[in-house]
């Protein structure tokens, strides 16, 4: 074996080892992107407040003005669908 053969063998192994973390990063990025793309969009904050206020009305403690205000805000923020 010649010294250049040893250098090539060590160099190839070093390249393979450095390619492993790069491949791992690429796989993790694709997995995170797929998970993010599959998640449902969150409803606007005003709609979540409206839903909470509506639940309170069912329980008996209701403020009609607050519920109507939150419904208007939810319709505005959600594009017409509470």
Higher pLDDT, 72 or 40: 72
Q: For residue range 20-40, list pLDDT tens digits in order.
A: 777 777 777 777 776 666 666
Of residues 1 and 60, the one with the higher pLDDT is 60
Is the confidence at residue 59, as pLDDT, over 70?
yes
pLDDT value for 49: 92
Three-point CA angle 37, 41, 42, nearest 5°: 145
Burial class (CB in 10 A: 0-12, 13-18, 19+), 7: exposed
pTM, two decimals, is 0.48
Does the structure show a pLDDT above 80 at 76? yes
């Amino acid at each position: 074996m010649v010294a250049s053969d040893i250098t090539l063998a060590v160099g190839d192994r070093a390249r393979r080892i450095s390619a492993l973390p790069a491949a791992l990063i690429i796989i993790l990025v694709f997995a995170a992107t797929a998970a993010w793309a599959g998640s449902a969009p969150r409803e606007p904050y005003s709609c979540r407040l409206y839903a909470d206020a509506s639940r309170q009305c069912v329980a008996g403690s209701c403020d009609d003005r607050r519920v109507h205000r939150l419904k208007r805000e939810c319709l505005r923020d959600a594009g017409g669908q509470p």
